[in-house]
Amino acid sequence: MSKTLRLSETWFRRGLWLVAIVFAGFLIGLGGRVVDDLPRVEVALQLEDFLDAAGKARAVDLRQRILQAEELQRQTDAARSQAELQLNKAQGTVQAERETLTNWLATRRATQRADQDPEVIARTRRLEDLKQLESRARQAVQAQQQVALDTQQARDAAVAELGRLQDGARQRMAVEQRAVELRVFLYRLALTLPLLGAAGWLFARHRKSTWWPFVWGFIFFALFAFFVELVPYLPSYGGYVRYGVGILLTVLTGRYAILALNRYLERQKQAEAKPDSQRRQELDYDLALARLAKGVCPGCERPVDLKDPAIDFCPHCGICLYNRCTHCEARKNAFARYCHACGTPRREQEARPV
């Protein structure tokens, strides 16, 4: 259709479409801010809110015990590290003393000197003392390991009990979370459905009015609000809501398309029954020229070989496509407002087909 418009009108229409898109963009931005603030109308859910008074007190006590156990574990780890260090030192000292004693005894057997027997006894006692120190260091390490084990078991028991306590609350929270999601969805629906209804009314009544750029801008905004701001947040209860909405939209769209097709066919049948001159007068000028440019009949929209100069009437519906100017006898488009050869207005011509 743009081929039939004046050049300035074409650019004006493009500018108005840009106005429609910009207008829709600002509406979408405003709507997005409103939709983003919708969850704030609901109080943020906390797991603690779904515990009774006794459960809350018990949860606080268990968390305190867990924290104390974790702190004790850190202290025990530090003490165990120190005890293991002392044990390693004691073991090193005992090993060194044992090697020294072994070497000294080998020397004693070689020399067979009886005056060295008191030294053997003293060295043996020193080794025994060192072994006792090693034993006490090992006991200290084992004691710290026992404390760490007891602390870990106590912490694990507290964590398990807290988990059992929170499981029931988590289930109740999940139920309430689904209810919150449904309410937020209903808030979105309450905002988008009126917008969609208003967009449908504007499309049906005012899409070709003087203020059509704002009408189309609002329609774009309403479609964006429904398909982007609403549909992705459909609460999925086993998919029933999503598929139910899809089925409903498909049925409504299909019903509208079927009825529109039947109405179109009925209008075409009634139009084709009217006289030729009346049909050409009722056809929109730009629409007729656009259909001719596409090689279809303006009346019935069926293909016609317009390049054949012998075809002046549509072979399908009989509407006149070409006639002759009564002033200069030039063959011209029957829908043209002026003769292309002499410029005589159509209203001054008599419709006289070839």
Q: Is 91 exposed, middle or buried (0-12, 13-18, 19+ CB in 10 A)?
A: middle
Instruction: Give me 14's structure tokens.
Output: 């493009």
Whether the pLDDT of residue 130 is over 70: the answer is yes
User: For residue 291, what pLDDT band results from cuts at 50, 70 and 90?
Assistant: confident
Q: What pLDDT was estimated at residue 349?
A: 55
Residue of higher predicted confidence among 205 and 104: 205
Choice among 63-67, 97-101, 106-110, 118-122 with the minimum mean pLDDT: 106-110
Residue 252's region, left for phi above 0, alpha for psi from -120 to 50, else beta, is: alpha
User: For residue 107, what pLDDT band results from cuts at 50, 70 and 90?
Assistant: low
Q: What pLDDT was estimated at residue 354?
A: 41
Choice among 112-126, 149-163, 291-305, 337-351 with the minimum mean pLDDT: 112-126
Of the candidates 331, 20, 11, 31, the one whose C-alpha atom is nearest the C-alpha of residue 202 is 20
Whether the pLDDT of residue 238 is over 50: the answer is no
Interval 313-320 mean pLDDT: 86
Average pLDDT taken over every residue of the chain: 78
Whether the pLDDT of residue 141 is over 60: the answer is yes
Q: Using CA atoms, how far apart are residues 352 and 334, in angstroms rounded to an integer? A: 10
Whether the pLDDT of residue 305 is over 60: the answer is yes
Interval 47-61 mean pLDDT: 77
Interval 221-250 mean pLDDT: 68
Give the 3-state secondary structure of residue 283.
coil
User: For residue 45, what pLDDT band results from cuts at 50, 70 and 90?
Assistant: low
Whether 192 and 230 have beta carbons less than 8 Å apart is answered as yes
Q: Using CA atoms, how far apart are residues 318 and 352, in angstroms rounded to an integer? A: 15
Interval 151-160 mean pLDDT: 88
Whether the pLDDT of residue 214 is over 50: the answer is yes
Entry pTM: 0.44
Percent share of the chain, pLDDT over 70: 80
Residue 344's region, left for phi above 0, alpha for psi from -120 to 50, else beta, is: beta
Interval 269-274 mean pLDDT: 78
301's CB contacts (< 8 A; 6+ apart) are 291
Of the candidates 261, 238, 258, 239, the one whose C-alpha atom is nearest the C-alpha of residue 250 is 258
Of the candidates 38, 36, 42, 34, the one whose C-alpha atom is nearest the C-alpha of residue 187 is 38
Instruction: Give me 282's structure tokens.
Output: 């009722």
At 244, the amino acid letter reads G
101's CB contacts (< 8 A; 6+ apart) are 123, 124, 127
Interval 58-72 mean pLDDT: 86
Q: Using CA atoms, how far apart are residues 207 and 193, in angstroms rounded to an integer? A: 19
Interval 293-322 mean pLDDT: 86
The distance in angstroms from the start CA to the end CA of the chain is 28
Q: What pLDDT was estimated at residue 281?
A: 78
Q: Using CA atoms, how far apart are residues 157 and 163, in angstroms rounded to an integer? A: 10
Partner residues linked to 303 by β-bridges: 296
User: For residue 9, what pLDDT band results from cuts at 50, 70 and 90?
Assistant: low
50's CB contacts (< 8 A; 6+ apart) are 168, 169, 170, 172, 173, 176
Whether 341 and 332 have beta carbons less than 8 Å apart is answered as yes
Q: Name the helix (H) or strand (E) containing 331.
A: strand 331-333
Q: What pLDDT was estimated at residue 344?
A: 82
Q: What pLDDT was estimated at residue 352?
A: 46
Whether 31 and 229 have beta carbons less than 8 Å apart is answered as yes
Whether the pLDDT of residue 353 is over 70: the answer is no
Q: What pLDDT was estimated at residue 327?
A: 82
Choice among 88-92, 237-241, 313-317 with the minimum mean pLDDT: 237-241
Whether 59 and 161 have beta carbons less than 8 Å apart is answered as no
What is the number of other CB atoms lying within 10 angstroms of the CB of residue 332? Answer: 20
Whether the pLDDT of residue 338 is over 80: the answer is yes
Q: Using CA atoms, how far apart are residues 235 and 244, in angstroms rounded to an integer? A: 12
Whether the pLDDT of residue 236 is over 80: the answer is no
Q: Using CA atoms, how far apart are residues 334 and 314, in angstroms rounded to an integer? A: 12
Whether the pLDDT of residue 2 is over 80: the answer is no
Interval 133-150 mean pLDDT: 84
Whether 152 and 11 have beta carbons less than 8 Å apart is answered as no
Interval 85-100 mean pLDDT: 80
Whether 224 and 24 have beta carbons less than 8 Å apart is answered as yes
Whether 299 and 283 have beta carbons less than 8 Å apart is answered as yes
Q: What pLDDT was estimated at residue 43?
A: 62
